[in-house]
Chains A and B, each alone.
Chain A
């Protein structure tokens, strides 16, 4: 078990180093950061001096390792726009994104459970068809369009909910629904098929045959056995929610990590973009690791290879 966790930890480090390498390489390819730093007025000579001062005249692989060395010490560079180290800038925005993602996760999982279970139990009936249609539609509507529709209906026409910003619970409602829609749809389908698998098992037939109440069969036997696929689903969800938050935050002007990143891209604030991508990768990898460990604790059949 310990060996398994250590192995997964090592893998996670490889992933993060890989991501840092790719972002560093992309940044290197994208153009001359020194020219951006020096500004438009700088002469060629000034740029060269600055280049040597900052160490950009070294081979890029040397630059990468020096970047890694700083990164390990928690230094991911300085934002060109805010003139501050990027790490605290990013960490400051993390709670807003975490709140949004957590709310969306609650909706996506909490809503999908009754939908998926109902569809599986009522297989082939109208409730099943309705759930499938809803799930298909949810997977086809782009999140940002759904966001705009919700803003129009609830913010502009009905005027019942705020359309941008943060602060109260009411601010959270529309962004959370927008971010969760795709996941809600996909989870309903996954839970439906996981439940269908379990409902066909012999022990369910036995439980029914001995005259157990249908709801008790569902709760005590079916649900518990499809719980594992549920944990997997939550794990898959997090990467998607992080990516989706980038777009949702832009639609609702939600002051989180996603909005910070996109605005850094607009402002060519390369260090901030790089730092944000790497920190998101770390968050993502850590959460995934936690999910995998939970999974192995829940299911004694999982072998820790």
Chain B
């Protein structure tokens, strides 16, 4: 069923293949790069990409320290996908559990959560993330925590609303009538019914988490400088804009295609799982 709709939408199919391609690249990074991403080779500084110059050794060129751009892009996929996925998981777990409890229990907790969500929604996420990372230390774990803490609201809001709607449905009341515990009702009856919207949100948040991580790393506030990341590479490229156009090309195309592919997948997921939404 899902495969059929995927095949029917060419754009979504290409997007799925693209994402799978990036996952493969991230998993096989050591095999796909001829040199370690951080290996400095001052004799080979600022080599233009082999695709243009015919140089076999450096297909994507080298940077100002003679590091291989191809290896760095390949390893950078690990940061983007890893941080993106981890941030989505953190935000999802936090948002889903808070949303479930608030929607199911209501009362004071629901009120407090509602106010907190309003405050956080009223404020630009990236500013919060930048402020938080600024006071913490730049590290992969901190970036994940910050992006996770910035992203939970979307999940909580939708899960709370869905839970509120499901709570009074007949099948939940029937379950309660035969003596099911709250935990059983939540895990057996409510959770399976909110999987679709959660999956859709997760896909789109993955795309924005990847852009947010790249933005933070571009500003030097993301992953540490010794970890090759696409955002960090673009920051270095900004310094060599007049003598190294290729430095910005490869990581830029990498981010844009990955994010575009994930967004397209999200569009398809939404059409397939939830035809009500336009």
The distance in angstroms between the C-alpha atoms of A151 and B264, with both chains bound, is 28
Instruction: Say if the beta carbon of B127 comes within 8 Å of chain A.
Output: yes
A14 touches B119 (CB 8 A): yes
The distance in angstroms between the C-alpha atoms of A270 and B131, with both chains bound, is 10
In the complex, the chain B residue whose C-beta lies closest to that of A11 is B118
Chain B residue numbers with a CB within 8 Å of A136 are 260, 263-264
B123 touches A284 (CB 8 A): yes
Report which of B119, B131, B132, B237 forms a contact with A148, defined as CB distance below 8 A. Answer: B237
Q: How near does chain B come to A112, taking the closest CB pair, in angstroms?
A: 18
Instruction: Say if the beta carbon of A266 comes within 8 Å of chain B.
Output: yes
Q: How near does chain A come to B60, taking the closest CB pair, in angstroms?
A: 16
The distance in angstroms between the C-alpha atoms of A102 and B248, with both chains bound, is 28
Of the candidate stretches B40-48, B99-107, B184-192, B216-224, the one touching chain A is: B216-224
Q: Interface size (B, Cβ < 8 Å)?
A: 42
Chain B residue numbers with a CB within 8 Å of A11 are 118
A residues 234-265 touching B (CB-CB < 8 Å): 239-240, 242-244, 246-247, 250-251, 261-262, 265
A265 touches B134 (CB 8 A): yes
Q: How near does chain B come to A277, taking the closest CB pair, in angstroms?
A: 5
Instruction: Say if the beta carbon of A178 comes within 8 Å of chain B.
Output: no
Q: How near does chain B come to A275, taking the closest CB pair, in angstroms?
A: 11
Q: Mark B105-126, 1 if CB is under 8 A from A, else 0.
A: 0000000000100110011111
In the complex, the chain B residue whose C-beta lies closest to that of A281 is B123
Chain A residue numbers with a CB within 8 Å of B251 are 145
B residues 212-238 touching A (CB-CB < 8 Å): 214-215, 218-221, 231, 234, 237-238
Chain B residue numbers with a CB within 8 Å of A277 are 127, 131
The distance in angstroms between the C-alpha atoms of A285 and B225, with both chains bound, is 35
- Residues on B close to A: CB < 8 A? 115, 118-119, 122-128, 130-132, 134-136, 207, 211, 214-215, 218-221, 231, 234, 237-238, 241-242, 245, 248, 251-252, 255-257, 259-260, 263-264, 278
- Residues on A close to B: CB < 8 A? 11, 14-15, 18-19, 22-23, 26-27, 29-30, 136-137, 139-145, 148-149, 151-152, 155-156, 163, 193, 196, 239-240, 242-244, 246-247, 250-251, 261-262, 265-266, 270, 273, 277, 280-281, 284-285, 288
